[in-house]
Structure 1
Amino acid sequence: MNHILHCNQQDQKFLTKIAFLDSKQRESLIPPELLIQQMPIKKNHTLLDVGAGTGFFTIPMAESTTNKVYAIDPDQRMLRVIKDKAREKGLTNIMLIQDYIEDLSIESNSVDFAMASLILHEVSSLTKVLSIIFEVLRKGGHLLCIEYEKDDLIIEGPPMSIRISSEELKKTLSLIGFEIVKKTKINDAIYTVLAVKREM
């Protein structure tokens, strides 16, 4: 009985997470299509969605290129949601990868654009994860990071102790070898940093 109760609680938690990830509130906060349209993505680019979740960004990314879009997430159930969405839209260019970003095994220098949306504050080592993304990006490839600002006045979002300030993120990206293209604020709580892998 306890096992069934635990499963039901787990299922409920998962459904609640999906409801938030696909909510109209989140869509109005971070309009995925609009954001993707503003990115330096070409029709033949290979793309990577880190911590893809329900495919909030994966789907518009797949619609913006004729090449592969890697969607990586450790939760098989999330990947099934993406698979169903892709089938509904007739998209066949999404490659689903069930794994943690720390164990990403995509070929080096093979990705033109990567996105890490509201996931970096959850990783065990920011430097390690950004270095892995740097490795898989081609020279001249871009990375877009979306995170909650580390500001005590901003209640919304994850615990302050795990947030990454925009200054810390920019500094870490620069140390790894990225060049910061621009930082923007989506709203008071959320910012984006667009960086490029320097041509050496």
Structure 2
Amino acid sequence: MNHMKHDNQPDQKFLTKVAFLDSRQRERLVPPEELIGQMPIQKNHTLLDVGAGSGFFTIPMAESTSGKVYAMDPDERMLSVIADKAKEKGLTNIEPIQDYIENLSLQNNSVDFAMASLILHEVSSLTKALATIVEVLKPGGHLLCLEYEKDDLIIEGPPMSIRIGSEDLEKVLSLIGFEIVKKTKINDAIYTVLAVKKNK
């Protein structure tokens, strides 16, 4: 029996959102496979995609490891989209988690690499969200954050009031137990910060 088939057909608004997420992120970013390929991910690593959305990064992450990939998103329909994509590609190592990052209930020190792509500006508390991620990461585990720069010249993206400037993000990461590995400007609007969890 196929559990992914829902009687209630997804509404048009939701389908448009999925198409928008996939196309806009593809336009704005380097190919996700390329970005993932540059990351310190090994073949047996356990990965976490925070705010996985339509699986833009989840799928290439699952292709880069034989370990488990947790796809976390509060929207059950997004997780259903990821499940369909995974099935299409024959990927069996993705485990969906329907929740918000602040409630993440994975085992401490169990994840090798986490990704938070264009999601941190939506959390209620940046410190709490990042502290949750640092707990589930193994010492020496990496976190890659993608966010919109807080720059008045950049119109595109979320409202300026909720954006997280790269310097602010680096500050919070450093305070809660991360060491900054590198910061990259993907384009005018989006930057990435790669950080590693310090060994206590």
Q: Shorter-chain TM-score: what band?
A: over 0.9
The one-letter amino acid paired with 2:103 is D
Partner of 1:29: 28
Q: Please say if 1:93 is aligned against 2:93.
A: yes
Partner of 2:6: none
TM-fit CA distance, 1:52: 0.2
Task: Find the aligned partners of 1:172 and 1:131 in 2 and give their Cα distance.
Answer: 9
Which of structure 1's runs of 4+ aligned residues deviate more than 2 A? Answer: 10-13
Task: Find the aligned partners of 1:144 and 1:128 in 2 and give their Cα distance.
Answer: 17
TM-fit CA distance, 1:26: 2.4
Deviations along 1:95-148, one digit per CA (max 9) or x if unpaired, are 001111111100000000000000000000000000000000000000000000
The one-letter amino acid paired with 1:162 is I
Q: After TM superposition, list the pairs within 5 Å mapping 1:180-195 onto structure 2.
A: 180-195=180-195
Please identify which structure carries the higher helix content.
1
The one-letter amino acid paired with 1:192 is T
Partner of 1:141: 141
Partner of 1:55: 55
Deviations along 1:138-168, one digit per CA (max 9) or x if unpaired, are 0000000000000000000000000000000
Deviations along 1:15-35, one digit per CA (max 9) or x if unpaired, are 221111111x42142210000
Q: Please say if 1:76 is aligned against 2:76.
A: yes
RMSD over equivalenced CA pairs, Å: 1.5
Partner of 2:164: 164
Task: Find the aligned partners of 1:117 and 1:134 in 2 and give their Cα distance.
Answer: 16
Task: Find the aligned partners of 1:180 and 1:22 in 2 and give their Cα distance.
Answer: 28
Task: Find the aligned partners of 2:25 and 2:77 in 1 and give their Cα distance.
Answer: 20
Deviations along 1:170-191, one digit per CA (max 9) or x if unpaired, are 0000000100000000000000
Q: Please say if 1:109 is aligned against 2:71.
A: no
Partner of 1:132: 132
Task: Find the aligned partners of 1:148 and 1:12 in 2 and give their Cα distance.
Answer: 28
Q: Which runs of 5+ in 2 are unaligned?
A: 1-8
Partner of 1:5: none
Local SS of the residue matching 2:102: helix
Task: Find the aligned partners of 2:114 and 2:58 in 1 and give their Cα distance.
Answer: 11
